[in-house]
Structure 1
Amino acid sequence: MKTILHKAATRGHANHGWLNSYHTFSFAGYYDPARIHFGALRVLNDDTVAAGMGFGTHPHDNMEIISIPLSGDLKHRDSMGNEAIIKQGDIQVMSAGTGISHSEMNANRDKEVKFLQIWVFPNQKNVQPRYDQLAMDESKMKNNFLQVLSPDKNDEGVWIHQNAWFSMGLIEKGNTINYVLKDKNNGVYAFVIEGAVSVNDEVLEKRDGLGITETDAFTVTATDNAKVLLMEVPIK
């Protein structure tokens, strides 16, 4: 098994006042040639948007875009006619495909919204744009990794155009969970949202990330109560 550790403090950072954003991989004004992507995982942004503010209408194409609110409410509107509020416990996906425009605004004027914005390279170009969201069942995450995204529209969670699986776990201190990769040729990027864990003895704290390759399974042990996102993606 090979690993690459990205400590939270080493991420790119941009504070625009209305937006405070941390970038695990190169994005916008942050560029590190050693941190362009992890396989098909291109962007992992940890965003905080001030009350009443947000991203105005802007375009995307040929990218799978996933948003996971961590607190607050995010208002989405797009060129396909979708308008929705996504909140903590939800997961949203857009296949940008041939092209889509959308806006993301803090739905509240009295509190900030925090969310993860994740981009994954698709395995098909110029697909028909699509939108989906669902509420994740956090009761199934207790000391377990719940699948929240897959390549199969009939499988559990949302789906994207890529041989990728995302799983979320709420792990109580002292518990160990084994994760078996769905595709042995993939890698996994583990991101600690809250708390602290060790992954095969590699210690990870809040907002740390660990890229894991050349293995078909690994263990995650909570050294404190933890919330962990696993992103299994193609490496080549």
Structure 2
Amino acid sequence: MIGIVFGLRLGRWGVVGFSLAGLLLVFAQTAGFYQVAGTTPGARAAFGSAMATLAAQLVALFPPPLRPDTAGGYAEFRGFHPLAVLFAVWALASATGFARGDEERGVVEAALATGTSRIALIASRTVGFALAVTVASAAAAAGFLIGVASGHETAAVQGVVEEAALLAVIGVACYTLSLFVAQMAGPRLPPAPPSAPERCRRATAAGSERSRGGHLNLRPTSGRHR
């Protein structure tokens, strides 16, 4: 439990930032749907057809949207799908930061010195990130509900919960995969040896120091002559 709280404290700004990003992104796309899609069924059908044509050009990044002529389908295509990519980047940065950055700063060694095993430490940090990405996914779902309310419509709560859960699962899966790869990766390469000109310069400097040190430090002496 202490490890989970410690992991959340280290990543608190990430939780705040990505939660706000999810809330604002999904809200903006949902509220924008009511501004550009029209109000009549014919206008929304034409808008959905245009979105399907646009989605066909982005199929390498996002799956084809389902019912882009509705607020839910449009928000899923323009809000939740890009947010999944953003959460994947967040997971990658958090996992590599824990596996590499915390080791360099001595955080991992300090935690292991308290008697915590490495497996327990990894599990606690994974659970901590799972809680963080769940909070951010819930914020994105709240942004969708607020956007739908601004258009004087209602949304199926079950579908919103499923969409938020899918976001959280994607984030946790990317985190565990990135953490596994970071743990399996070998140690970082040592610094490259100096080049031949650099070795020559160092040898010359060392020779100069030795030659200066070999001279006797003679000081003139003065005495009275009778």
TM-score bracket, normalised by the shorter chain, equals under 0.3
Larger Rg: 2
RCO comparison, higher one (Cα < 8 Å, 6+): 2
TM-score (norm 1): 0.23
Greater helix proportion? 2
Q: Which has the higher strand share?
A: 1
TM-score, normalised relative to structure 2: 0.23
